[in-house]
Protein backbone atom coordinates (compact mmCIF):
# COMPACT_ATOMS: atom_id res chain seq x y z
CA UNK A 1 0.00 0.00 0.00
CA UNK A 2 1.17 3.52 -0.73
CA UNK A 3 -0.07 6.42 1.37
CA UNK A 4 0.54 10.14 1.00
CA UNK A 5 1.38 11.65 4.39
CA UNK A 6 1.15 15.31 5.43
CA UNK A 7 2.59 17.03 8.46
CA UNK A 8 6.12 15.63 8.55
CA UNK A 9 8.74 18.28 9.27
CA UNK A 10 11.93 16.21 9.40
CA UNK A 11 13.47 12.78 8.87
CA UNK A 12 12.74 11.90 12.51
CA UNK A 13 9.02 12.21 11.71
CA UNK A 14 9.41 9.68 8.91
CA UNK A 15 11.26 7.31 11.23
CA UNK A 16 8.54 7.64 13.87
CA UNK A 17 5.83 6.76 11.34
CA UNK A 18 7.87 3.83 10.00
CA UNK A 19 8.32 2.39 13.49
CA UNK A 20 4.63 2.84 14.27
CA UNK A 21 3.50 1.12 11.09
CA UNK A 22 5.91 -1.79 11.61
CA UNK A 23 4.28 -2.48 15.00
CA UNK A 24 0.94 -3.29 13.33
CA UNK A 25 0.28 -7.02 13.20
CA UNK A 26 0.51 -8.15 9.59
CA UNK A 27 2.91 -5.45 8.40
CA UNK A 28 5.97 -7.06 6.85
CA UNK A 29 7.81 -3.82 6.01
CA UNK A 30 7.18 -0.08 5.94
CA UNK A 31 9.30 2.63 4.36
CA UNK A 32 8.55 6.33 4.68
CA UNK A 33 10.11 8.83 2.30
CA UNK A 34 10.24 12.23 3.98
CA UNK A 35 11.08 14.14 0.78
CA UNK A 36 8.19 12.63 -1.18
CA UNK A 37 5.86 12.48 1.84
CA UNK A 38 4.94 8.92 0.94
CA UNK A 39 5.00 5.56 2.63
CA UNK A 40 5.15 2.13 1.03
CA UNK A 41 3.83 -0.71 3.15
CA UNK A 42 4.14 -4.44 2.52
CA UNK A 43 1.52 -6.34 4.50
CA UNK A 44 -0.63 -9.43 4.78
CA UNK A 45 -4.14 -8.35 3.66
CA UNK A 46 -5.67 -11.13 5.75
CA UNK A 47 -4.39 -9.44 8.92
CA UNK A 48 -4.55 -5.69 8.29
CA UNK A 49 -5.27 -2.98 5.74
CA UNK A 50 -5.17 0.68 4.79
CA UNK A 51 -7.78 1.74 7.35
CA UNK A 52 -5.50 0.50 10.14
CA UNK A 53 -2.51 2.30 8.58
CA UNK A 54 -4.42 5.57 8.40
CA UNK A 55 -5.52 5.18 12.01
CA UNK A 56 -1.91 4.60 13.14
CA UNK A 57 -0.49 7.55 11.18
CA UNK A 58 -3.17 9.86 12.58
CA UNK A 59 -2.61 8.58 16.13
CA UNK A 60 1.03 9.65 15.73
CA UNK A 61 -0.05 13.21 14.89
CA UNK A 62 0.19 13.20 11.09
CA UNK A 63 -2.38 13.17 8.32
CA UNK A 64 -3.05 10.78 5.46
CA UNK A 65 -3.95 12.66 2.29
CA UNK A 66 -7.07 11.16 0.79
CA UNK A 67 -7.60 13.75 -1.89
CA UNK A 68 -5.11 15.00 -4.43
CA UNK A 69 -5.28 18.29 -6.31
CA UNK A 70 -2.89 19.48 -8.99
CA UNK A 71 -2.56 23.02 -10.31
CA UNK A 72 -0.01 25.22 -12.06
CA UNK A 73 1.86 27.91 -10.15
CA UNK A 74 3.54 30.77 -11.98
CA UNK A 75 5.90 33.50 -10.83
CA UNK A 76 8.39 31.40 -8.87
CA UNK A 77 11.98 32.52 -9.40
CA UNK A 78 13.98 30.19 -7.13
CA UNK A 79 13.88 27.12 -4.88
CA UNK A 80 13.05 29.31 -1.89
CA UNK A 81 9.81 30.31 -3.63
CA UNK A 82 8.82 26.66 -4.01
CA UNK A 83 9.73 25.96 -0.39
CA UNK A 84 7.60 28.88 0.85
CA UNK A 85 4.59 27.69 -1.16
CA UNK A 86 4.97 24.11 0.09
CA UNK A 87 5.10 25.26 3.71
CA UNK A 88 1.94 27.36 3.30
CA UNK A 89 0.04 24.56 1.56
CA UNK A 90 0.96 22.08 4.30
CA UNK A 91 -0.59 24.21 7.04
Q: What is the pLDDT of residue 80?
A: 93
The separation between CA 2 and the C-alpha centre of its own chain, rounded to angstroms, equals: 9
pTM above 0.85, yes or no: no
**Can you tell me the distance from the alpha carbon of 13 to that of 25, in angstroms, rounded to the nearest whole number?**
21
What confidence category does residue 90 fall into, taking pLDDT thresholds of 50, 70 and 90? Answer: confident
Helix, strand and coil content of the chain, in percent to the nearest 5, comes to: 35, 25, 40
CB-based burial, 15-40: b 16+ in 10 Å, e otherwise: ebbbebbeebeebeebebebeebebe
Q: What is the pLDDT of residue 89?
A: 80
Q: What is the pLDDT of residue 30?
A: 98
pLDDT in tens, 2-59: 999 999 999 999 999 999 999 999 999 999 999 999 999 999 999 999 999 999 999 9
Amino acid sequence: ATLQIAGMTCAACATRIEKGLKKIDGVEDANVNFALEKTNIKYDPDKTGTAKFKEKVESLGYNVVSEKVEFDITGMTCAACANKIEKRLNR
